């Protein structure tokens, strides 16, 4: 009995204890829930929301870059980025996808390494990118495979954009390229990145248990703001012509690199800007390797990096050079403006073969004494002693005043590329020797863009105008267009002075060192230049250049061409190797721009006729049209075939009896001819020799041939026009 009572008592105690524990536990749960709800509720709510939602960044469409005529130079095309959520890779049935199967498909479709891809698929990260910038054909293959295998979760295909350059190498150092994130890395893509790039948008969506998006009132969409379009001042046709002849010149003269700029001096518009070597904008990395050939593998990583940036750099804006005798146009303008010289005063200067300045004898480039010269004659012959004497008359202080007015101390072209500070020594450091060398364009370093801008100032009547590369900016969201206005900086010289310098530049081409830049039927002015390296930097080699203007009055075009790092042993005079190239460029660009022909050269001869553009005509119509001018026609196509190309192209002036070659098949093979050396022959004999092998001739002057536009031994297309200059009395040139 006592035992039963004792057991009942213990049971009651146990029940009380259990009840107490349960009550205490329940109270603790209530307290903890209250803490969670009231103290931590917001934090846990946010954490839960973040696990149940997905925020997707929506890339904006990068603006398109057009040339002045609306031709696309750079455009963003729609591509996709493929990523995965490794933990959510499941079949429709809910079963997890085997990593090996998915990795195998990814590697085959996208050309990826299998082992590296497998590691990505097995990753513990929440999101892993498999492939970027994937074209639609590969995306379609992947989608078909996913549908076939019934893989419904964990693979993401997000829209993205890839930069594409339809013209490959065209204007590559000017335009530049983008990185994988569509951000500009070089050239205009970098300098105008903020205008082109736009602003990203965002989509926030609710996810189900499988991580897939579901409709929800909390879904938020912030649209992207697309980048603006740029319309450049560049003309793709002119750019292509300039690049073609620049490449030929660099290769033929074994120069390390070359550059060319073409500008409208009336408004500062840059019509062409090119460097050679160039590269493929769609594959900039591999273009570097190809350019360096077998030597690439021997370079250190730093050397490889330097080589890349050297190739990608727009040297017309970002590199300094000594302009040489082209700078004599600027010195002439200063002397005339200051009234210390006139254009045609006989015996104004004396060459003497050299000029003693300070403790140095500084020699003329010409191996003989030019004798007594006027300023015009000094410019025609590019006489260094004459310009050293002119520099002394001007004086350093006055010279520097005009340097500043011409913008030579400014970092010009910062909207095109990174620009260096010009190297012109401080005024208080200029002694007699320094003043003398600067007077013929050496021992001062400026950019090619500064040089052509100075000549453009002379060409437009004396007003410094900022170079312009972007003409218009188009807002792609609302279609509004803003124009980048021409900026006139200041008046530098009078219209009278500018006219005198242009007239002397015309004499340089007609009578002096620029004879090989003549374009039959057009008035062309110019100035050659050759600068030698400093004594302690011989490895830099010589720089040859030529600057041309056309027409002489109301000038519409200025062209500057440069060849760098030429050896002393090879031909390195600008008048010899650069002037002919500029002449070729102008012979195609001037007719294309519909610039009115002048009254000089062969056009004045009634026997010479302009070659008509017959592309797009039938062969029969082309024969009839060209036959009216007395030209012979050679064509393999039948009469109803459409003419796709012709040689020579329109704009050339040829004598009756010259031969025009017509082509009617795309990619039709064209015969080549080796240009003979006709210098020293009579004009009639030279023309006969050229015609005998299927080449055409444009001639200027009479007597003995002193120059030809294409170097002897060069292989050219049949029908090519060779411009030959003849004089009764020959003279040399710089």
Over the stretch 219-251, which tens digit does the pLDDT of each residue have? 566 677 889 999 999 999 999 999 999 999 999
By the 10 Å C-beta count (0-12 exposed, 13-18 middle, 19+ buried), 121 is classed as: buried
The CATH number fitting domain 55-232, selected from 3.30.420.40, 3.90.1310.10, 3.40.190.10, 1.10.3720.10: 3.90.1310.10
Tell whether the model's pLDDT for residue 214 goes beyond 60.
no
- The Cα–Cα gap between 95 and 90 comes to 5
Give the pLDDT of residue 731: 39
By the 10 Å C-beta count (0-12 exposed, 13-18 middle, 19+ buried), 80 is classed as: buried
Strand pairing of 542-550 and 557-566?
antiparallel
Residues 67/273, Cβ–Cβ less than 8 Å: no
- φ and ψ of 191, to 5 deg: -65, -30
Residue 732 pLDDT grade (very low, low, confident, very high; cuts 50, 70, 90): very low
Which residues make up the CATH 3.90.1310.10 domain(s) of the chain?
55-232
What is the dihedral sign for C-alpha 315, 318, 324, 325? positive
Give the pLDDT of residue 604: 37
Instruction: State the helix-helix crossing angle for 114-121 and 99-110, rounded to 10 degrees.
Output: 130
Containing H/E element for 258?
strand 257-263
- The Cα–Cα gap between 384 and 386 comes to 5
Which residues contact residue 231 at a Cβ distance below 8 angstroms, ignoring those fewer than 6 apart? 66, 67, 68, 70, 470, 471, 472, 473, 474
Q: Look up residue 168 and give its two tokens.
A: 């490959």
pLDDT tens digits, one per residue of 648-664: 876 566 777 889 999 88
Q: Is the peptide bond before 350 cis (omega within 30 degrees of 0)?
A: no
Tell whether the model's pLDDT for residue 583 goes beyond 90.
yes
* From 127-131, 161-165, 199-203, 324-328, the region with the lowest mean pLDDT: 199-203
Which residues make up the CATH 3.30.10.20 domain(s) of the chain?
601-727
Largest Cα–Cα distance of the chain, in whole Å?
A: 154
Residue 313 pLDDT grade (very low, low, confident, very high; cuts 50, 70, 90): very high
Please state the separation of Cα 520 from the chain's center in Å: 30
User: pTM for the whole thing?
Assistant: 0.71
The CATH number fitting domain 318-592, selected from 3.40.710.10, 1.20.1630.10, 3.40.50.2000, 3.30.70.1560: 3.40.710.10
pLDDT tens digits, one per residue of 359-391: 889 998 888 888 999 999 999 999 999 999 999
Q: Which CATH architecture has domain 601-727?
A: 2-Layer Sandwich (3.30)
Residue 9 pLDDT grade (very low, low, confident, very high; cuts 50, 70, 90): low
Mean pLDDT of the chain: 85
Report which DSSP code applies to 254: T
Please state the separation of Cα 257 from the chain's center in Å: 14
Which residues make up the CATH 3.40.710.10 domain(s) of the chain?
318-592
- The Cα–Cα gap between 545 and 442 comes to 13
pLDDT tens digits, one per residue of 411-465: 889 899 989 999 999 999 999 999 999 999 998 999 999 999 999 999 999 999 9
Instruction: State the helix-helix crossing angle for 579-592 and 236-252, rounded to 10 degrees.
Output: 160
Cα separations (Å) of 114 from 35, 119, 371? 51, 9, 79
155: three-class secondary structure by DSSP: strand
Pick from 108-117, 302-311, 467-476 the range whose average pLDDT is largest: 467-476
Look at 143 and 54; give whichever has higher pLDDT. Answer: 143
């Amino acid at each position: 009995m006592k035992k039963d009572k004792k057991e009942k008592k213990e049971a009651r105690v146990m029940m009380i204890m259990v009840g107490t524990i349960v009550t205490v536990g329940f109270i603790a749960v209530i307290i903890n829930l209250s803490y969670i709800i009231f103290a931590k509720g917001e934090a846990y709510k946010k954490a839960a929301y973040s696990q149940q939602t997905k925020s997707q960044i929506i890339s904006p469409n990068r603006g398109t870059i057009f040339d002045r005529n609306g031709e696309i130079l750079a455009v963003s095309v729609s591509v996709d980025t493929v990523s995965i959520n490794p933990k959510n890779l499941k079949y429709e049935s809910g079963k997890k996808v085997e990593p090996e199967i998915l990795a195998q498909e990814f590697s085959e479709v996208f050309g990826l390494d299998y082992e590296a891809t497998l590691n990505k698929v097995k990753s513990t990260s929440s999101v892993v990118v498999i492939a970027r910038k994937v074209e639609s054909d590969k995306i379609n293959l992947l989608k078909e495979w996913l549908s076939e295998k019934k893989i419904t979760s964990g693979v993401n295909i997000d829209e993205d954009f890839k930069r594409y350059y339809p013209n490959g190498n065209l204007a590559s150092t000017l335009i530049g390229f983008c990185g994988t994130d569509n951000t500009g890395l070089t050239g205009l893509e970098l300098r105008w990145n903020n205008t082109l790039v736009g602003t990203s948008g965002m989509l926030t969506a609710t996810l189900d248990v499988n991580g897939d998006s579901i409709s929800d009132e909390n879904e938020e969409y912030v649209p992207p703001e697309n980048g603006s379009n740029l319309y450049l001042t560049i003309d793709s046709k002119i750019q292509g012509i300039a690049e073609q002849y620049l490449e030929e010149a660099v290769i033929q003269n074994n120069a390390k690199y070359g550059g060319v700029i073409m500008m409208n001096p009336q408004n500062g518009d840059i019509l062409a800007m090119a460097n050679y070597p160039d590269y493929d904008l769609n594959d900039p990395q591999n273009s570097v390797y190809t350019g360096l050939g077998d030597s690439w593998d021997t370079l250190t990583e730093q050397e490889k990096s330097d080589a890349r940036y050297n190739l990608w750099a727009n040297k017309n804006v970002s590199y300094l050079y000594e302009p040489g005798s082209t700078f004599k146009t600027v010195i002439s303008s200063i002397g005339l403006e200051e009234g210390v010289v006139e254009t045609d005063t006989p015996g104004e200067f004396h060459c003497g073969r050299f000029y003693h300045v300070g403790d140095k004898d500084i020699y003329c480039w010409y191996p003989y004494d030019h004798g007594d010269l006027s300023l015009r004659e000094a410019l025609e012959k590019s006489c260094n002693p004459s310009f050293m004497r002119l520099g002394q008359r001007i004086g350093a202080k006055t010279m520097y005043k005009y340097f500043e007015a011409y913008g030579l101390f400014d970092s010009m072209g910062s909207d095109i590329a990174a620009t260096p500070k010009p190297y012109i020594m401080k005024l208080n450091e200029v002694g007699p020797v320094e003043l003398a060398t600067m007077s013929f364009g050496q021992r001062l370093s400026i950019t090619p863009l500064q040089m052509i801008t100075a000549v453009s100032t002379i060409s437009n009547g004396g007003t410094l105008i900022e170079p312009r590369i972007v003409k218009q900016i188009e807002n792609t969201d609302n279609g509004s267009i803003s124009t980048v206005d021409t900026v006139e900086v200041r008046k530098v010289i009078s219209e009278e002075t500018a006219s005198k310098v242009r007239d002397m530049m015309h004499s340089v081409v007609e009578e002096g060192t620029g004879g090989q830049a003549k374009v039959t039927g057009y008035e062309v002015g110019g100035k050659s230049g050759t600068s030698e390296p400093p004594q302690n930097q011989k490895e830099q080699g010589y720089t040859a250049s030529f600057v041309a203007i056309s027409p002489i009055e109301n000038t519409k075009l200025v062209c500057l061409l440069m060849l760098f790092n030429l050896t002393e042993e090879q031909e390195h005079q600008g008048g010899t190797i650069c002037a002919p190239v500029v002449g070729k460029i102008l012979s195609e660009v001037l007719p294309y721009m519909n610039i009115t022909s002048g009254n000089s050269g062969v056009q004045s001869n009634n026997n010479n006729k302009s070659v008509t553009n017959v592309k797009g005509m039938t062969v029969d119509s082309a024969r009839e049209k060209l036959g009216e001018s007395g030209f012979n026609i050679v064509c393999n196509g039948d009469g109803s075939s459409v003419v796709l190309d012709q040689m020579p192209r329109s704009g050339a002036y040829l004598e009756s009896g010259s031969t025009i070659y017509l082509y009617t098949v795309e990619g039709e093979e064209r015969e080549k001819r080796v240009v003979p050396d006709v210098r020293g022959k009579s004009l009639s004999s030279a023309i006969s020799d050229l015609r005998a092998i299927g080449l055409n001739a444009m001639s200027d002057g009479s007597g003995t041939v002193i120059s030809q536009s294409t170097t002897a031994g060069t292989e050219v297309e049949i029908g090519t026009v060779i411009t030959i200059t003849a004089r009764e009395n020959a003279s040399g040139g710089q």
